[in-house]
Amino acid sequence: MDRLLVLVRHGQSDWNLKNLFTGWKDPDLSPQGVDEAISAGKKLKALGLSFDVCFTSALIRAQHTAKLVLGELGQSGLTTLKDQALNERDYGDLSGLNKDDARKRWGEEQVHVWRRSYDVSPPGGESLKDTVARVLPYYAQEILPRVLRGERVIVAAHGNSLRALVMVLDRLTPETIPSMELDTGVPLVYRLNADSTVADKQVLRG
Protein backbone atom coordinates (compact mmCIF):
# COMPACT_ATOMS: atom_id res chain seq x y z
CA MET A 1 0.00 0.00 0.00
CA ASP A 2 1.47 3.34 -1.11
CA ARG A 3 -0.18 5.80 1.36
CA LEU A 4 0.86 8.69 -0.88
CA LEU A 5 0.29 12.32 0.17
CA VAL A 6 1.59 15.16 -2.00
CA LEU A 7 1.47 18.80 -0.86
CA VAL A 8 1.90 21.66 -3.35
CA ARG A 9 1.91 25.34 -2.46
CA HIS A 10 0.19 27.29 -5.24
CA GLY A 11 2.35 28.98 -7.85
CA GLN A 12 3.24 32.64 -7.51
CA SER A 13 0.12 34.82 -7.45
CA ASP A 14 -0.30 38.32 -8.88
CA TRP A 15 -0.19 39.65 -5.32
CA ASN A 16 2.94 37.66 -4.39
CA LEU A 17 4.54 39.40 -7.35
CA LYS A 18 3.41 42.81 -6.05
CA ASN A 19 4.62 42.05 -2.48
CA LEU A 20 1.10 42.33 -1.03
CA PHE A 21 -0.39 40.52 1.96
CA THR A 22 -2.94 38.20 0.38
CA GLY A 23 -4.65 36.00 2.97
CA TRP A 24 -8.27 35.32 2.02
CA LYS A 25 -8.22 37.78 -0.88
CA ASP A 26 -8.54 35.99 -4.19
CA PRO A 27 -6.01 36.98 -6.87
CA ASP A 28 -5.13 34.46 -9.57
CA LEU A 29 -1.72 33.11 -10.54
CA SER A 30 0.86 35.32 -12.22
CA PRO A 31 2.38 34.08 -15.51
CA GLN A 32 5.32 32.78 -13.45
CA GLY A 33 2.86 31.04 -11.13
CA VAL A 34 1.25 29.28 -14.09
CA ASP A 35 4.71 28.08 -15.17
CA GLU A 36 5.47 26.89 -11.62
CA ALA A 37 2.25 24.88 -11.43
CA ILE A 38 2.86 23.26 -14.82
CA SER A 39 6.42 22.46 -13.74
CA ALA A 40 5.11 20.83 -10.55
CA GLY A 41 2.85 18.62 -12.65
CA LYS A 42 5.76 17.62 -14.89
CA LYS A 43 7.91 16.69 -11.87
CA LEU A 44 5.16 14.49 -10.48
CA LYS A 45 4.60 12.90 -13.88
CA ALA A 46 8.33 12.18 -14.18
CA LEU A 47 8.03 10.11 -10.98
CA GLY A 48 5.16 8.18 -12.52
CA LEU A 49 2.68 9.44 -9.93
CA SER A 50 -1.08 9.63 -10.33
CA PHE A 51 -3.83 10.39 -7.83
CA ASP A 52 -7.23 9.21 -6.64
CA VAL A 53 -8.44 12.52 -5.19
CA CYS A 54 -7.37 16.16 -4.96
CA PHE A 55 -8.02 18.61 -2.13
CA THR A 56 -7.73 22.37 -2.50
CA SER A 57 -8.90 25.57 -0.85
CA ALA A 58 -11.76 27.90 -1.70
CA LEU A 59 -9.30 30.34 -3.34
CA ILE A 60 -8.63 30.55 -7.06
CA ARG A 61 -4.82 30.53 -6.92
CA ALA A 62 -4.82 27.11 -5.26
CA GLN A 63 -7.62 25.77 -7.48
CA HIS A 64 -5.85 26.99 -10.64
CA THR A 65 -2.62 25.32 -9.46
CA ALA A 66 -4.45 22.05 -8.86
CA LYS A 67 -6.04 22.24 -12.32
CA LEU A 68 -2.70 22.84 -14.06
CA VAL A 69 -0.92 20.07 -12.12
CA LEU A 70 -3.67 17.56 -12.86
CA GLY A 71 -3.69 18.62 -16.51
CA GLU A 72 0.00 17.73 -16.80
CA LEU A 73 -0.77 14.35 -15.25
CA GLY A 74 -3.60 13.67 -17.70
CA GLN A 75 -6.06 13.67 -14.79
CA SER A 76 -8.14 16.77 -15.55
CA GLY A 77 -11.36 15.02 -14.51
CA LEU A 78 -10.09 13.95 -11.08
CA THR A 79 -12.45 14.43 -8.13
CA THR A 80 -11.38 17.74 -6.52
CA LEU A 81 -12.72 18.69 -3.09
CA LYS A 82 -12.62 22.41 -2.24
CA ASP A 83 -12.87 23.70 1.32
CA GLN A 84 -12.05 26.98 3.04
CA ALA A 85 -10.51 24.96 5.88
CA LEU A 86 -7.46 24.82 3.58
CA ASN A 87 -7.47 28.58 2.87
CA GLU A 88 -4.43 30.71 3.49
CA ARG A 89 -4.05 32.36 6.87
CA ASP A 90 -6.36 35.38 7.14
CA TYR A 91 -4.16 38.47 7.44
CA GLY A 92 -7.09 40.66 8.50
CA ASP A 93 -6.33 44.38 8.24
CA LEU A 94 -3.02 43.66 6.48
CA SER A 95 -4.76 41.97 3.52
CA GLY A 96 -4.13 43.88 0.31
CA LEU A 97 -1.39 46.06 1.82
CA ASN A 98 2.12 46.23 0.44
CA LYS A 99 4.47 44.62 2.96
CA ASP A 100 6.85 47.60 2.84
CA ASP A 101 3.96 50.01 3.46
CA ALA A 102 2.84 47.89 6.41
CA ARG A 103 6.34 48.13 7.89
CA LYS A 104 6.24 51.94 7.56
CA ARG A 105 2.84 52.08 9.25
CA TRP A 106 3.35 49.65 12.15
CA GLY A 107 7.12 49.30 12.28
CA GLU A 108 9.36 46.54 11.02
CA GLU A 109 9.48 44.72 14.35
CA GLN A 110 5.69 44.56 14.75
CA VAL A 111 5.12 43.33 11.19
CA HIS A 112 7.84 40.71 11.70
CA VAL A 113 6.07 39.49 14.84
CA TRP A 114 2.75 39.21 12.97
CA ARG A 115 4.38 37.31 10.11
CA ARG A 116 6.77 35.05 12.00
CA SER A 117 5.36 34.41 15.46
CA TYR A 118 3.22 31.35 16.10
CA ASP A 119 0.43 32.77 18.24
CA VAL A 120 0.28 36.55 17.60
CA SER A 121 -2.41 37.57 15.12
CA PRO A 122 -2.51 40.76 13.02
CA PRO A 123 -5.46 43.12 13.59
CA GLY A 124 -8.65 41.36 12.51
CA GLY A 125 -6.78 38.28 11.31
CA GLU A 126 -5.48 34.84 12.25
CA SER A 127 -2.25 33.77 13.89
CA LEU A 128 -0.47 30.71 12.55
CA LYS A 129 -1.80 28.91 15.64
CA ASP A 130 -5.36 29.84 14.56
CA THR A 131 -4.66 28.52 11.06
CA VAL A 132 -3.31 25.25 12.45
CA ALA A 133 -6.46 24.91 14.60
CA ARG A 134 -8.57 25.25 11.44
CA VAL A 135 -6.52 23.03 9.12
CA LEU A 136 -5.66 20.05 11.33
CA PRO A 137 -9.22 18.87 12.11
CA TYR A 138 -9.98 18.90 8.38
CA TYR A 139 -6.79 16.91 7.71
CA ALA A 140 -7.63 14.39 10.43
CA GLN A 141 -11.25 13.95 9.33
CA GLU A 142 -11.09 14.24 5.53
CA ILE A 143 -7.57 13.78 4.17
CA LEU A 144 -5.62 11.40 6.42
CA PRO A 145 -8.25 8.59 6.44
CA ARG A 146 -8.11 8.44 2.64
CA VAL A 147 -4.30 8.25 2.66
CA LEU A 148 -4.34 5.48 5.26
CA ARG A 149 -6.87 3.54 3.14
CA GLY A 150 -4.33 3.58 0.32
CA GLU A 151 -5.79 6.39 -1.77
CA ARG A 152 -3.21 8.60 -3.49
CA VAL A 153 -3.95 12.15 -2.37
CA ILE A 154 -2.70 15.53 -3.60
CA VAL A 155 -3.35 18.80 -1.73
CA ALA A 156 -2.88 22.15 -3.50
CA ALA A 157 -3.09 24.92 -0.94
CA HIS A 158 -1.14 27.79 0.64
CA GLY A 159 2.06 28.57 2.52
CA ASN A 160 0.47 28.72 5.95
CA SER A 161 -2.24 26.08 5.59
CA LEU A 162 0.40 23.64 4.33
CA ARG A 163 2.74 24.67 7.14
CA ALA A 164 0.10 23.30 9.51
CA LEU A 165 0.27 19.90 7.77
CA VAL A 166 4.07 19.90 7.56
CA MET A 167 4.19 20.75 11.27
CA VAL A 168 2.41 17.47 12.03
CA LEU A 169 4.10 15.35 9.37
CA ASP A 170 7.66 16.54 10.10
CA ARG A 171 7.05 16.83 13.86
CA LEU A 172 8.00 20.49 14.02
CA THR A 173 7.32 22.69 17.04
CA PRO A 174 5.60 26.07 17.44
CA GLU A 175 9.13 27.47 17.78
CA THR A 176 10.47 26.02 14.51
CA ILE A 177 7.46 26.09 12.18
CA PRO A 178 7.19 29.90 11.65
CA SER A 179 10.67 30.05 10.10
CA MET A 180 10.09 27.14 7.72
CA GLU A 181 9.62 28.32 4.13
CA LEU A 182 7.54 26.49 1.53
CA ASP A 183 8.50 27.43 -2.02
CA THR A 184 5.72 28.14 -4.53
CA GLY A 185 5.07 25.28 -6.93
CA VAL A 186 7.47 22.81 -5.28
CA PRO A 187 5.79 19.44 -4.52
CA LEU A 188 6.43 17.70 -1.21
CA VAL A 189 5.96 13.95 -1.70
CA TYR A 190 5.20 11.99 1.48
CA ARG A 191 4.68 8.29 1.94
CA LEU A 192 3.12 7.42 5.28
CA ASN A 193 3.30 4.43 7.58
CA ALA A 194 0.14 2.69 8.76
CA ASP A 195 0.29 4.72 12.00
CA SER A 196 0.29 8.00 9.97
CA THR A 197 3.97 8.78 10.63
CA VAL A 198 6.24 9.59 7.68
CA ALA A 199 8.03 6.69 5.99
CA ASP A 200 9.64 8.82 3.26
CA LYS A 201 9.70 12.45 2.09
CA GLN A 202 10.92 13.95 -1.19
CA VAL A 203 11.10 17.66 -2.03
CA LEU A 204 10.88 18.06 -5.83
CA ARG A 205 13.04 21.13 -6.44
CA GLY A 206 14.89 21.99 -9.64
- Mention every residue, 6+ apart, whose C-beta is less than 8 A from residue 193: 3, 199
Among 10, 36, 64, 158, the one annotated catalytic: 10
d(CA 110, CA 26): 25
**% helix, strand, coil for the chain, step of 5:** 45, 15, 40
d(CA 59, CA 27): 8
Residue 10 annotated among the catalytic residues of the structure: yes
Residue 192's alpha-carbon distances to 4, 81, 189, in angstroms, are 7, 21, 10
Among 64, 88, 126, 158, the one annotated catalytic: 88
Amino acid at 113: V
DSSP code, position 142: I
Catalytic residues: 10, 88
